[in-house]
Structure 1
Amino acid sequence: MIDHIEIKVKNLNLSFIFYKEILASIDYHLIKTRKENERVTAYGFGRDTRVYFWIAQGTQEIISKAHIAFAVNSQVMVDNFYKIALLNKAISNGEPGFRKHYNNHYYAAYIIDLDKNNMEVVCRL
């Protein structure tokens, strides 16, 4: 079981705005914002106050290219995440839809974030 995930980004200010918007669409909320000496932003899920997803300032040379999939409970949440991500300058990497090559109940969308990470949101119906 994964406890939490952290990704490094080139510009924490831009990524903060980006992730705040798209993660809110799937019930993640901001728990911790960066302070002068801390270059991280942290998000929890639902009513939980625990951190599950961290964004930390990296260097300009960082090229992460991670794949992270967020589980949600409905197709509507997948669709909303995708739309909000594109409005916040994400690049489409797969429109919302069923991925029958995984199984008949796998509904997902994929975006590329500001640092070229592949973010997926999936609902297993």
Structure 2
Amino acid sequence: MLDHISISTSDFEKSKAFYTKALSPLGYVLLMEFPASVTGHTDVAGFGEPPKADFWISKGVPNNPAVHIAFRAASRAQVDAFYQAALAAGGRDNGAPGPRPHYHEHYYGAFVLDPDGHNIEAVCHSPE
């Protein structure tokens, strides 16, 4: 099951304004925004129907994959297993399994780059 999708943008502020207006009729609103100082990579903004953002945009930067797809995991053990399986299948580390409390209290995710450099994530939103 998909959890969220993220795309890179060439003009973050312009894209944020665009999606704020374009997605409004669908019930989507800007729910979260994090600067690069928090994410460690780039500015990001998350849109969705409250309370969960499931469509994210990020400021495009060199070597930042254009596509980010997150798959929902039922447990933290599944996130860990995804990470190990992805690395064994030839994926490259893009963030070891662990908590990401800047997203929310129970966010636990792992990130790998697929053979084309796309950022693939498994995420669990439940406490241990």
TM-score (norm 1): 0.48
